[in-house]
Amino acid sequence: MSFRDEAIAANDAYARSFPRAERTAPPTRRVAVLACMDARLRPEEALGLALGEAHVIRNAGGRATGDAVRSLMLSSAVLGTREAVVIHHTDCGLLGATDEELRSIVSEATGEDASTVDFLAFEDADRTLAADVETIVSDPRLPFTEVTGFIFDVETGALREARSV
């Protein structure tokens, strides 16, 4: 059975116990989270967020890319979120690899040219987190009143505050 088939069966059970309520698109807690795609991280659970309370934007690294900024603009300026949280984490799959190494791995795995891709690899999670928080704080199109950066420990589930503005 493929994952797709199992997911359809699992969703039947999920929908039967889904908490019905009137919910609209603007998040009720007025929070936007930007986090890594890592499988060991559940941003909503780690932050104690209930269904409907926060937007969650995720990509490789939890980086404040142009596409993340597009999403954060829609979240804050259009849908009214006011606090942003950025979560990077320990033992990141990107950590320690260079962009050049990642390009080689992708080319070898697929036989395709990945030489123009910027994978946004990084070496120091705290420094990269501070830079991504700064990208959000310094963009005037993102009207957040508070931006907090956390490092999530994938072994313990604990968040360590690393950068707040």
* Residues 62-91 within binding reach of its own copies (CB under 8 A): 65-68, 70-71, 73-79, 83, 85, 91
- Exposed, middle or buried: residue 59 (CB in 10 Å: 0-12, 13-18, 19+)? middle
Binding mask 20-49 for its own copies (x = CB under 8 A): x--xxxxxxxxxx----xxxx-x-xxxxxx
Q: How far is the CB of 55 from its own copies (least distance, A)?
A: 4
Q: Which of 1, 53, 88, 165 binds its own copies (CB under 8 A)?
A: 53
Smaller CB distance to its own copies: residue 105 or 126? 105
- Contacts with its own copies: how many residues (CB under 8 A)? 91
Smaller CB distance to its own copies: residue 127 or 142? 142
User: Over the range 86-123, which residues count as b (16 or more CB within 10 Å of their CB) and which as e?
Assistant: bbbbbebebbebebeebbeebeeeeeeebeeeebbbbe
129: three-class secondary structure by DSSP: helix
Examine residue 96 and tell whether it contacts its own copies (CB under 8 A). no
Smaller CB distance to its own copies: residue 7 or 126? 7
Q: Which of 1, 96, 112, 138 binds its own copies (CB under 8 A)?
A: 112
Task: Name residue 89's beta-bridge partners.
Answer: 152
Q: Which of 86, 88, 102, 151 binds its own copies (CB under 8 A)?
A: 102
Examine residue 134 and tell whether it contacts its own copies (CB under 8 A). no
Residues 121/98, Cβ–Cβ less than 8 Å: yes
Look at residues 58, 38, 59 and name the one whose alpha carbon lies nearest to residue 155: 38
Please, what is the angle between helix 125-137 and helix 66-73, to 10°?
40
Residues 146/164, Cβ–Cβ less than 8 Å: yes
Q: How far is the CB of 47 from its own copies (least distance, A)?
A: 4
